[in-house]
Amino acid sequence: MDSKKSILLVLLLATLITLALGQTRVGFYQTSCPRVETIVQTAVRSAINSNPTIAPGLLRMFFHDCFVNGCDASILIDGASSEKTAPPNGFLRGFEVIDAAKTQLETTCPGVVSCADILALAARDSVVQQNFLTLQTGGASWQVPLGRRDGLVSRASDTGSLPGFNEPLNALIRKFADKNLNTQDLVTLSGAHTIGTASCLTFSYRLYNYNNTNGPDPSIDPTFLPTLRNLCPNGGDGTRRVTLDTGSVGNFDNSYYSNLRNRRGVLESDAALWNNPATQTLVNRFLGIRGLAGLTFNVEFGRSMVKMGNIELKTGSQGEIRRVCTAIN
């Protein structure tokens, strides 16, 4: 047997093992669609160069997809009662990026690459491109295991599994545990807010009438409160977007955790990470506090993204490979 046949046999065996075990793997499309990563990266780069807010949008979209029936691109399906229509998904953006990449891939290698894998790659590439725009070197990146297939169901009623911005920390920890993600994953993945924004609607209740006290959330830094109130006046435009990482707009770094320590977490779910001893310790580890084993945000974020990307996999003969990402075949 010549060397080329031997290599093909090894790749075939690896693919069969992957399908049998229901796992993803790096290099899944090495022979069937070798340009997949380049094509997705090009689509993401073009979109973010035109509109930098697409970067956190793609990250959030992947998160919202994986937490509802697994990472199966069900978030992309159109329909009167699909996941897209649920209130938690109302501000998602970046769908056109996935569509653009899929269109190109269907021309290059039709019927091969799943929308779920495109979304997983786009989430990674959004971080890489954000690092490039802000001239960061050595920023977060990770290899993306591939081989997901697209789901056949998308129901708005299933989105209750999504962690909420105003849920108690114990509820958030439980929702992560339900997806085989631990408390460190919760603190790590919350770090995506380093490039995110939130609407005033999602946190202004903390500024004026927290828990019906007619006053602000006492956990907010009093010197930070006027800034938030100026951005979100009482009774003002609830759709106005506010950065979640004050002082580090657009930089994918661990400054988000510094803001938590300084009681400048914008969302209640963010602030809660500092108000609990267990999660506060993890925040301090990301900040490199002396006496604690340090955690490197760029490294840990990639690890947790890979872990999240394996939630409730559909592989092998499960699901399908959609021809267009917005509709089941």
Q: Is residue 197 part of a domain?
A: yes
Classify residue 34: in a domain, yes or no. yes
**Strand, coil or helix: 22:** coil
Q: Give the residue numbers spanning the domain of 241.
A: 169-308
Q: Which residues pair with 242 in a beta bridge?
A: 198
Question: Domain check: are 176 and 286 in the same one?
Answer: yes
Count Cα neighbours of 246 within 13 Å in the Cβ-side half-sphere.
Answer: 17
Binding residues for substrate are: 163
In a domain, 49, yes or no: yes
Same-domain check for residues 208 and 96:
no
What is residue 137's predicted lDDT score, i.e. its pLDDT? 65
Task: Please state, in angstroms and rounded to a whole number, the distance separating the CA atoms of residues 178 and 176.
Answer: 5
- Residues 30, 106 within the same domain: yes
Cβ contacts of residue 237 below 8 Å, gap of 6+?
Answer: 200
In a domain, 215, yes or no: yes
Give percent helix, percent strand, percent coil of the chain, each to the nearest 5: 50, 5, 45
Q: Report the pLDDT value the prediction gives residue 17, as an integer from 0 to 100.
A: 44
pLDDT at 135: 66
Q: Could you tell me which residues are annotated as the binding site?
A: 65, 68, 70, 72, 74, 83, 163, 193-194, 245, 253
- Cβ neighbours of residue 132 under 8 Å, at least 6 residues apart? 45
Sign (positive or negative) of CA dihedral 72, 87, 47, 100: positive
Per residue of the chain (329 residues), what is the pLDDT tens digit? Answer: 455 555 445 445 444 444 444 578 999 999 999 999 999 999 999 999 999 999 999 999 999 999 999 999 999 999 999 999 999 998 899 999 999 999 999 999 999 999 999 999 999 999 999 888 776 766 789 999 999 999 999 999 999 999 999 999 999 999 999 999 999 999 999 999 999 899 999 999 999 999 999 999 999 999 999 999 999 999 999 999 999 999 888 889 999 999 999 999 999 999 999 999 999 999 999 999 988 999 999 999 999 999 999 999 998 889 999 999 999 99
Which of these three, 162, 182, 210, is where a domain ends?
162
Same domain, 195 and 104: no
In a domain, 12, yes or no: no
3-state secondary structure of 243: strand
Pairing state of beta strands 197-199 and 241-243?
Answer: antiparallel
pLDDT the model gives residue 204:
96
Query: Are residue 186 and residue 302 in the same domain, yes or no?
Result: yes
Residue 137 included in any domain: yes
For the chain, report the end-to-end CA distance as a whole number of angstroms: 40
Residues 117 and 197 in one domain: no
Regarding whether 148 and 81 lie in a shared domain, the answer is yes
CA atoms within 13 A on the CB side of 104: 16
The model's pLDDT over 113-130, given as tens digits with 9 standing for 90+, comes to 999 999 999 999 999 998
Length of the chain: 329
Q: What is the CATH number of the domain that holds 245?
A: 1.10.420.10
Q: Is residue 9, in this structure, part of any structural domain at all?
A: no
- C-alpha 50/C-alpha 59 separation (Å) is 17
Structure tokens at 140: 């977060």
Residue pair 162/66 in contact (Cβ under 8 Å)? The answer is: no
What is the maximal distance between C-alpha atoms in the chain? 79
CA 30 – CA 150 distance, rounded (Å): 19
- pLDDT, residue 133, reads 75
pLDDT of residue 79: 95
Count of domains for the chain: 2
Annotated binding site for Ca(2+), which residues? 65, 68, 70, 72, 74, 83, 194, 245, 253
User: Within this chain, do residues 146 and 234 fall inside the same structural domain, yes or no?
Assistant: no
120 and 182 co-located in one domain: no
Q: Based on the domain organization, do 268 and 204 belong to the same domain?
A: yes
**Structural tokens at position 212:** 């019906």
DSSP-derived letter for residue 27 is T
- Indicate if 133 and 52 belong to the same structural domain: yes
Query: Looking at the annotation, which residues are catalytic?
Result: 64
175 lies in some domain:
yes
Extended strands (E) in the chain:
197-199, 241-243
CATH code (residue 113): 1.10.520.10
Judge contact between 268 and 166, C-beta under 8 A: yes
Q: How many helices and strands in the chain, by DSSP H and E?
A: 13, 2
Looking at the fold, whether 112 and 149 belong to one and the same domain comes out as yes
Residue 21: the pLDDT is 44
* Domain boundary pick from 140, 162, 184: 162
